[in-house]
Amino acid sequence: MTTAQIFTGILVVLFFALMIGVGLYCRRHSTNVDGFVLGGRSVGPWLTAFAFGTSYFSAVIFVGYAGQFGWNFGLASTWIGLGNAFIGSLLAWNILGRRTRLMTQEINSKTMPDFFEKRYGSKGLKIAASAVVFVFLIPYTASLYNGLSSLFNIAFEVPYWACILVMAVLTGLYVVFGGYMATAINDFIQGIIMLVGIVAVVVAVLAENGGLMGSVEALATGAEGGWEYVAFFGPDPIALLTVVLLTSLGTWGLPQMIGKFYAISNEAAIKKGTLISTVFAIIVAGGCYFLGGFGRLFMTQAEVSAKGFDSIVPSILSNLSPYIIGIVIVLVLSASMSTLSSLVLTSASTLTLDVIVTASKKQVEEKKKLLIMRALIVFFIILSAVIAILKDTIWSDFVFIAQMMGVSWGALAGAFLAPFLYGLYWKKATRPAVWASFIFGVGMMIVQLLISMKVFSVGGGVLGFIFKNSLSSGVVAMIGGLIIVPIVSLFTQKRKPEGVDQLFECYKVTHTVPAKNSLSED
């Protein structure tokens, strides 16, 4: 082994040891369901903000999205990262954070499907939402493993299945042991690694082509580039806007993201968490997409056509210092494991609390709930790993990383975003409106999935534009839900849940605060 390989190996071993150590340390926080799923609703701003950010940005962003959209839009792809920061983080925290924490505590809700049942008074909604979470988080979870193989092969000759196996086992260990608190602490550590790693990689890549100005000029004048790839809004502003909306607004309806607001401790934590989360997103997401914008300096169109978009970022990194590559390996592991832990915890808690416990005719004890959740975490990790391996072999021509993630995001956000948002702010939202949003959002993405699998096609025109890919159909699913819910609600006011007025009183509870936080009217 070379010195660089030894260095990378030491980093990876230390990283894994730290993750497992945190899981063991956090066992004391996971003795009941509330502690295992929500950390006792006492998680501070730094842990919550980093948990939000690391769940948001995974290897899917670093390898898949950055490569594909950097190639398509050039440096303008940086707008995607900024949209993630200001729409997906800053606005999400300000609009959803406080109200989510208050209402979910008021109705004693631990998951998003549970919120739909208690807010809209329908057990059927909870079962349907649980099914959507289960079905559409699986391909999202499986997509997290992609990109590991090509990056590991730069530093080590490690088979893809071995990368998946190691990552799955170690993630499963610390989540099973420590639950949400272990996930939050590890997310903080992994977030620090991601911040340092992305800055180091961007600086190193720019240095390859004479710094920032040299790299920009090379992109503008290169054989595969052109001035449109350094333009302010790139060669296709409409397509760029579509990606910004899906990857930014979509987080407002993702259960693994919204769940972070359930657990935050207090008002001060929300204010600090908003700032921390936004800055984190600017650096990590902005840096990833900015890096991907230089992909045309490192590959040709023929190579991309042969190897796919997922090979672009590994190609960018292949000529860097082996020590920088070592940092990148740990960066990608951090990004993938943090999101994987959040997804499997969300899936397991939802299926346990909203389906299995609900269906049980007998009272289920806390210890049994925890046992079921831990077993399901193992099941989801194994299932996602198997799908990822099959995709690399049997299903290798199915879809790119971006398509897999786009279908999941579109279905979840299309179904959940509008009912959740209106449920927090608008008393008149009704059960039929929520059902309409579920059906529309999921239906759109099932059609998109069938088109991606070439079961049928829709040709050109409006339908051709909507179902061009999972990104455009996902945006239509989200925006459609925001329109459908108020319209259907206004026509179905007789089906409005009882007790909603009383429920919204939780927002009116008076708290005494220091004068430095609120000016007196006197």
DSSP line for 191-226: HHHHHHHHHHHHHHHHHHTTHHHHHHHHHHHSSS--
Rounded distance between C-alpha atoms, residue 339 and residue 405, angstroms: 13
> pLDDT band at residue 57, thresholds of 50, 70 and 90?
confident
pLDDT of residue 484: 97
Lowest mean pLDDT among 89-103, 196-210, 258-272, 294-308: 258-272
Q: Determine the average pLDDT of the residues in 491-507.
A: 85
Q: HEC string of 121-153?
A: CCHHHHHHHHHHHHHHHHHHHHHCCCCHHHHHH
pLDDT of residue 487: 97
pLDDT of residue 460: 77
pLDDT tens, position by position, 155-175: 566 677 777 888 888 888 888
pLDDT of residue 403: 60
Rounded distance between C-alpha atoms, residue 406 and residue 400, angstroms: 10
In this predicted structure, the answer to whether residue 399 has a pLDDT above a threshold of 60 is no
> pLDDT band at residue 262, thresholds of 50, 70 and 90?
confident
Q: Is the dihedral of CA 112, 115, 120, 122 positive or negative?
A: positive
In this predicted structure, the answer to whether residue 200 has a pLDDT above a threshold of 50 is yes
pLDDT of residue 393: 65
Q: Determine the average pLDDT of the residues in 368-376.
A: 89
Q: Please give the residue that has the higher pLDDT: either 256 or 512.
A: 256
> pLDDT band at residue 402, thresholds of 50, 70 and 90?
very low
pLDDT of residue 117: 93
pTM: predicted TM-score of the whole model, two decimal places: 0.86
pLDDT of residue 168: 85
pLDDT of residue 281: 94
Residue with tokens 């459908």: 484
pLDDT of residue 138: 78
Region 19-396: CATH code: 1.20.1730.10
pLDDT tens, position by position, 425-470: 999 999 999 999 999 999 999 898 888 777 888 877 888 888 888 8
pLDDT tens, position by position, 105-143: 888 888 899 999 999 999 999 999 999 988 888 777 777
DSSP 518: S
DSSP 508: S
Lowest mean pLDDT among 13-22, 226-235, 263-272: 263-272
Rounded distance between C-alpha atoms, residue 462 and residue 442, angstroms: 19
Instruction: Sketch the domain layout of the chain as residue ranges.
Output: 19-396
Enumerate the H helices of 45-97 as residue ranges: 45-56, 59, 66-73, 78-85, 92
The rounded percent of the chain whose pLDDT value lies above 90 is 28
Q: Determine the average pLDDT of the residues in 6-10.
A: 79
Lowest mean pLDDT among 23-32, 181-190, 466-475: 23-32
pLDDT of residue 171: 84
Q: Determine the average pLDDT of the residues in 216-244.
A: 90
Q: Is 472 helix (H, G, I), strand (E, B) or coil?
A: helix
Max Cα-Cα span within the chain: 74
pLDDT of residue 167: 81
pLDDT of residue 278: 95
Rounded distance between C-alpha atoms, residue 314 and residue 155, angstroms: 11
pLDDT of residue 224: 85
Q: Are 170 and 338 in contact (CB under 8 A)?
A: no
pLDDT of residue 365: 84
The CA-atom distances, in angstroms, between 40 and each of 104, 181, 263, 391 are: 13, 9, 7, 38
Q: Report the mean per-residue pLDDT for the chain.
A: 84
Query: Computed over its alpha carbons, how large is the radius of gyration of the chain?
Result: 23
Cβ-based burial of 364 (10 A; exposed 0-12, middle 13-18, buried ≥19): middle
pLDDT of residue 28: 74
The rounded percent of the chain whose pLDDT value lies above 70 is 91
In this predicted structure, the answer to whether residue 73 has a pLDDT above a threshold of 50 is yes
Q: Please give the residue that has the higher pLDDT: either 313 or 78.
A: 78
In this predicted structure, the answer to whether residue 104 has a pLDDT above a threshold of 50 is yes
pLDDT of residue 513: 66
Cβ-based burial of 485 (10 A; exposed 0-12, middle 13-18, buried ≥19): buried
DSSP symbols for 399-453: --HHHHHHHHHHHHHHHHHHHHHHHHH-TT--HHHHHHHHHHHHHHHHHHHHHHT
